[in-house]
Structure formats: C-alpha cells, structure tokens
C-alpha cells in the first residue's frame, strides 16, 4: 500500500490550502455574474445594448436571467417609482446570497431629473447598493467597466468567510 503524504490532522484534512479554494470560488463567482433583467426606463435600453452582440456581455459570463432566483447581480437600470418600490424589495429578497446590486444611471442613484412626488430618490432608500454608475444614461462601456469593478470587488473579498447578508436596516 502506497504511503501518501497527506496529513489529515492539518488543513482540515484537505491536500489543498484554503486560500486556493477561496480564489477558485471567487474566480467562479466573479466570472459568472448572472444579471437580473431590471430595465425600468431609458437606461434599460443601454443595459440591453450592453447585453447584445456589439458589446456582448456573455463574454464576461454575465447572462441576463428572467428570474431573481437564478441571478447574482441586480442591475437597476432606470427610474424607480414609488409604486414599484415594494416589488424591487421583494425581488431583491428573492435573490439568493451572495448578491450584489448595481445602480445604473442618475435616476437609480438619486432620482435624477425626476424631482417629483412619484419617484424614489435613489434606490438605496429601498435596497443596499454596491456600485453606482453615473450618467444619463451611462454608455454600455460604463456598465461593462462597472461589472469589471464589481468582479474585482468580489475577488478582493474572502469567499469562505460566512457572508453577512447586506441589509439597509
């Protein structure tokens, strides 16, 4: 019987150091960021352009999903009205952890030009946001850059640390 070198009393009995698992999990997570289709207004058109053939989000591993239960990142592209705010919260809650939110465009960031009674003045009043993209509307390149920054953010955090769910309160 062959003598193998694995010391089962160390490293949780695994022949691989945990940092590598960390890296490979984060590599997987950051390169398969499935985005939830969330076009609310004109910014949604730019988000669709980013997903279509010229800008081609698929090569980042970002594939738009129609269901919150399959998606990792919610790209809030457009004007969030007060009537819709309870649904964005419900959809955010239905996404599985770990999850991230990109707020795309002035409307989603601050309410933008809609300084009115019917517009939520920034989606961060309803759900926690990881990345804010300025612009009205941001070009698809901006969204690509934002997704790459988010990938970097994911890789910078430890994967095996039990992730605290992000909450507003």
Footprint on this chain of ligand SF4 (rule: CB under 6 A): 41-43, 78-79, 105-107, 112, 136-137
Say if CB 145 and CB 169 are below 8 A apart: no
Minimum CB distance to ligand SF4, residue 127 (Å): 17
Q: Does 49 bind other proteins (CB under 8 A)?
A: no
Stretch of 11-19, 27-35, 45-53, 94-102 lying at the interface with other proteins (CB under 8 A): 27-35
Can you list the positions of beta strands (E) in 12-155? 35-36, 64-65, 73-77, 100-104, 131-133
Minimum CB separation from other proteins for residue 55, in Å?
14
CA 9 from chain centre, in angstroms, equals 38
62 binds other proteins (CB under 8 A): no
Which single residue is written with the structure tokens 């499935």?
34
CB of 136 to ligand SF4, least distance (A): 3
Count of residues engaged in binding other proteins, rule: CB under 8 A: 31
Binding mask 96-135 for other proteins (x = CB under 8 A): --------------xxxx-xxxx-xxx--xx---------
**Secondary structure (3-state) at 35:** strand
Helix (H) or strand (E) holding 43: helix 42-51
Q: For residues 144 and 50, is the Cβ–Cβ distance under 8 A? A: yes
Q: Is 8 in the site for other proteins (CB under 8 A)?
A: no
Name the minimum Å distance from CB 65 to ligand SF4.
Answer: 21
Counting contacts by CB under 8 A, is residue 139 touching other proteins?
no
Q: Is the dihedral of CA 44, 101, 98, 127 positive or negative?
A: negative
Please tell me whether residue 152 binds other proteins under the rule CB under 8 A: yes
Nearer to other proteins, 83 or 161 (CB): 83
Relative to beta strand 73-77, strand 100-104 is parallel
Distance of CA 69 to the CA centre of its chain: 13
């Amino acid at each position: 019987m062959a003598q193998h070198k694995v010391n089962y009393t160390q490293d949780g009995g695994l022949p691989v150091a945990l940092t590598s698992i960390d890296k490979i999990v984060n590599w997987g997570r950051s390169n398969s960021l499935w985005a939830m289709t969330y076009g609310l207004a004109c910014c949604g058109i730019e988000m669709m352009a980013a997903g279509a053939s010229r800008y081609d989000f698929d090569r980042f591993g970002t594939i738009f999903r129609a269901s919150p239960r399959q998606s990792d990142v919610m790209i809030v592209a457009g004007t969030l009205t007060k009537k819709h705010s309870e649904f964005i919260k419900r959809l955010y809650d239905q996404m599985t952890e770990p999850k991230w939110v990109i707020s795309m465009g002035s409307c989603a960031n601050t309410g933008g030009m809609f300084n009115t009674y019917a517009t939520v003045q920034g989606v961060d009043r309803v759900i926690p946001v990881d990345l804010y993209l300025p612009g009205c509307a941001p070009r698809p390149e901006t969204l690509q850059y934002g997704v790459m920054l988010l990938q970097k953010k994911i890789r910078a955090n430890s994967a095996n640390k039990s992730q605290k769910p992000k909450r507003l309160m």
